[in-house]
Structure 1
Amino acid sequence: MNTRRRVSTRTVLVVGLLVALVLAGVVSYYASASPDGLNRVAGDLGFAGAEQASRTQDGPLAGYETAGVDGRWSGGLAGVIGCLVVLALTTGLMLVRRRSAQPTTVGGE
């Protein structure tokens, strides 16, 4: 006899979103301040001085930090905002794709 309960898709999505937000907001507080992979390789190979300024270097989330927020919480907030932006973009793309995949009727039938 199979007595397993099915978990709804909505429950999986909500739990997944909450896990992503917690990871982005809390775990990033403990992230290393050491340079990331590309910066480290550039330093190790001696071409770090060839970098150029980015047009987005003064943006609100530049450098994985939130402008106007001091301390390590700045990175966590930037992570949460990034998750929400990605969620909004993917939701929008899914809705556009779903709408374009619906069959259209010809002649108002």
Structure 2
Amino acid sequence: MTKHPAASGEATPQTQQTPQTPRGARKAAPPSRRFFAVFLLVAVIVAGFVSFYASASPDGLTKVAEDKGFASQEKDHGLKDSPLGDYGVKGVDDERLSGGLAGVIGVGLTLAVGGGLFWVVRRRSPSSKSPNSKSPSSE
């Protein structure tokens, strides 16, 4: 009984071939980078441009507070006077530009904080890993 070459761990002619990139041609970005770039572009467009067309009607919590009669007890939050308070950038007089900039800055800050946390968690020292986890070099 003969074994198939792939079952015995031997390389087959099909697995030995590697696609050749023509000289001067650029390789396509990995799918994860492409996805990230498209996601970032869509997020910036939505935050910077589409957000201006959001409904001016009150949100659900405000609507319920008005309907139930306790909206008069509403207080301003502590960050109302911050540079990005009240859905705009302080010092920018054009309402549309102010809201768009606030959205783009918010996307950037969220990306920076989320990316930073991801990087910290990913770069943990080997001693903090669980004993059952395998390192890429041991596979």
Query: What is aligned with 1:43?
Result: 66
Mapping 1:1-12, distance limit 5 Å: 8-12=31-35
Identity %: 52
Deviation at residue 76 of structure 1 after TM alignment? 1.3
Q: 1:72 aligns with which of 96, 108, 114?
A: 96
Q: 3-state DSSP class of the match of 2:126?
A: coil
Deviation at residue 53 of structure 1 after TM alignment? 2.3
Distance 1:41 1:72 in 2: 28
Q: What TM-score does the superposition give when structure 1 sets the normalisation length?
A: 0.82
Quick one: which amino acid aligns to residue 83 of structure 1? V
Q: 1:29 aligns with which of 31, 41, 52?
A: 52
Distance 2:118 2:43 in 1: 19
Deviation at residue 7 of structure 1 after TM alignment? 5.4
Aligned residues: 99
Which one has the largest radius of gyration? 2
Quick one: which amino acid aligns to residue 118 of structure 2? M
Mapping 1:64-103, distance limit 5 Å: 64-70=87-93, 71-100=95-124, 102-103=125-126
Deviation at residue 66 of structure 1 after TM alignment? 1.2
Query: What is aligned with 1:107?
Result: none
Structure with a larger share of its residues in helix: 1
Higher mean Cα deviation, 36-45 or 90-99? 36-45
5+ residue gaps, structure 2, are: 1-27, 128-139
Deviation digits for residues 48-86 of structure 1 (CA, Å, limit 9, x no counterpart):
111122211101111111111122221111111110000
